[in-house]
Amino acid sequence: MKDLEEHLSEYAKYHRDQKNIYTHYVGIPLIVFSVFCLLSKPAFFIEAPIVGALMISPALFVWLIGNAFYVALDVKLGLMMTVITGAMVYFAQPIAQLGLGAWLAVSLGIFVGGWVLQFVGHHFEGKKPAFVDDIMGLAIGPLFVLAELSFELGLRKALKEEIERRSGPVK
């Protein structure tokens, strides 16, 4: 299995233009949120002994599996991603409770809007999206956004330096 630096460096090779990265700051969270909205519709409640009723949906399983992967790559970034995506799953629930037409319109509208931003960013970059060459780019994109935001806040300097050593600096 690739480590964090390998995954982020490979993804970063397609994202060296700052304008592209900025479009990803909005586009990728929109896409992830829309997927949670879409996967939250088929839900059911189960009674749990300590916490009471729990709502179970495909979104919850994707959230668990995705965050287990992120935590395995990096505990700090993975835990941050768990909190952020947990909020997304929570806020997807009201959208999933809309009628079928409204739920699909809102969820797909957010999804399309996120992808439009992605392709605008890649127009600035002049490169295709990373997932075209490696489907793992779809899973690494959200972690890349969180890592880039942490770099802008002055955090994870060693990680930033390693990614730039492997992929080049951001223009």
Output the pTM of the full model. 0.88
Residue spans per domain, the chain: 4-167
User: pLDDT-derived band of residue 135, with 50, 70 and 90 as boundaries?
Assistant: confident
DSSP-derived letter for residue 155 is: -
Closest CA to 29 of 145, 125, 121: 145
Let me know: does 45 contact 56? Beta carbons within 8 Å: yes
Render pLDDT for 105-121 as a digit per residue (tens, 0 to 9).
Answer: 999 999 999 999 988 98
Query: DSSP code of 84?
Result: H
* pLDDT tens digits for range 61-104: 999 999 999 999 999 999 999 999 999 999 999 999 999 999 99
Using an 8 Å Cβ cutoff, are 46 and 53 in contact? yes
pLDDT at 44 over 80: no
Q: Which of 42, 35, 60 is nearest to 115 (CA)?
A: 35
Angstrom distance (rounded) from CA 8 to CA 23: 17
Q: What is the mean predicted confidence (pLDDT) over 30-45?
A: 90
Dist CA 109 CA 126 (whole Å) = 25
Residue 45: in which H helix or E strand, if any? Answer: strand 44-48
